[in-house]
Amino acid sequence: MISNITPRALRLTIRMGKYINKRNVFFLILTAVAVGMGYTPLRDLLFSTDHGEYYSHIVLIPLVSGYLVYLKRKELILEARYGHGSGIILMTVGIALYFHGITLETQLDLDEYSSLMILSVLVFWIGGFILIFGTRVFRIAIFPLLFLAFMIPIPSMLMDKIIHFLLAGSNEVTYRIFELTGIPVSREGFVFHLPGISVEIAKQCSGIRSSLALLITVSLAAHFFLKSGWRKAILILSIVPIAILKNGIRIVTLSILAVYVDEKFITQGFLHRSGGFVFFLPALALLGLILWGLRKSER
C-alpha cells in the first residue's frame, strides 16, 4: 500500500498529521484553561444546598456535546481552518466578562454569579474553538456547541418567574382535575382544602427539574429527528403544557392517596420525594407521540 503513494503525497500526509496534532494540542490547552476558569463557580453551585438541586444535569452537558462533536469529526477535520478574527474577539469578550464577574462576586447571589462566570467561560472557549478550527467548523458543529448553553445556570430572578409560572399553571390544572374526579375541594390561592387535609402547592412542587430534563431531552430529539425549524419549535414549545399537565396529575395523585390511603403520601415516601420520574415517563411518551406526528408530516 505505501509503495503506491508518491513521495509528494506522503509528505503532504505527514504535514497534515502534524497540522491536526498541533490543533489538538492547542485545543486541549484551551479546554484545560476553560475548565480551570469555570471550576470554582461551578463547584460552589453544584454543592449548594439551596441551588444545586436544579443543576445536577450540568455535568452531563459537556459529555453529550463532546459526543455530538465526535460524530462529526471527519467533516470537522476536513474543514478546519484558523479563524483568527472572530475567535480572538470572542475570547477577548469572554475574558472581559470573566474578570467583570470576579469584581461583582460579592454583589451577586450564587445563581447570578455562577451564570455570569459560566457564560464568560463558554464565550471564551467557543472563541478559542473558532480560533483553532475556524468559522466553517463552528457552523458544522453549531448545535453541539450551543447545546453547552444548558450549562449556564438560570439567574435567580428569571428562575423565580419561571417557577411562579409553572406553579400558577399547575394550580389551575390541579383544580380542574379535582373537579373532574368529583372529590370535594375548595381553593384559596395555592392551597387546596380536601376532606380531612389541606394541600399547598409550594415552590418544591413546580416541577422545574423535570421540566429542564424534558427541555434538554426534547432539544436533542428535535436535532436528530426533525429538519424544519418550525417543527422543532412546535415540539419544544409543547413541553410547557405537558410539563404543567404532568405536574397537576402528580399533585392530584398524591392528594388522593393522602385522603383515601395515608396522609403521609404528601409529606414523605417515594412518590413525594423521588416520584417525579414516575410521572416524567408518561410526559416523555406524550412528547414522543408529538415528535412522531411532526416527523411523519415532514416525510
Three-state SS string across 87-153, please? HHHHHHHHHHHHHHHHHCCCCCCHHHHHHHHHHHHHHHHHHHHHHHHCHHHHHHCHHHHHHHHHHCC
166 and 147 in one domain?
A: no
Give pLDDT, residue 241: 93
231 and 104 in one domain?
A: no
d(Cα 247, Cα 243) in Å, to the nearest integer?
6
Cell of 233: 419549535
Listed residues 110, 127, 151: the one ending a domain: 151
Spell out a b/e string for 68-81, using b for 16 or more CB atoms within 10 Å of the CB, else e: bbeeeeeebeebbe
Cell of 60: 452531563
23 and 131 in one domain?
A: yes
Listed residues 151, 166, 200: the one ending a domain: 151
Range of the domain at 119: 2-151
165 and 127 in one domain?
A: no
Give pLDDT, residue 61: 93
50 and 29 in one domain?
A: yes
63 and 122 in one domain?
A: yes
Q: What is the mean pLDDT of the chain?
A: 84
Q: How many domains does the chain have?
A: 2
For residues 125 and 42, is the Cβ–Cβ distance under 8 A?
no
219 and 291 in one domain?
A: yes
213 and 142 in one domain?
A: no
Give pLDDT, residue 221: 93
Entry pTM: 0.82
191 and 86 in one domain?
A: no
Instruction: Give me the residues of the chain with pLDDT under 70, please.
Output: 1-20, 49-52, 264-265, 267-277
145 and 24 in one domain?
A: yes
Q: Which of 253, 285, 284, 248 is closest to 270 using CA atoms?
A: 253
132 and 23 in one domain?
A: yes
250 and 122 in one domain?
A: no
Give pLDDT, residue 268: 65
For residues 45 and 55, is the Cβ–Cβ distance under 8 A?
yes
Listed residues 97, 121, 151: the one ending a domain: 151
Give pLDDT, residue 208: 84
15 backbone dihedrals φ, ψ, rounded to 5°: -60, -40
User: Tens of pLDDT along 220-254?
Assistant: 999 999 989 999 999 999 999 999 999 888 888 88
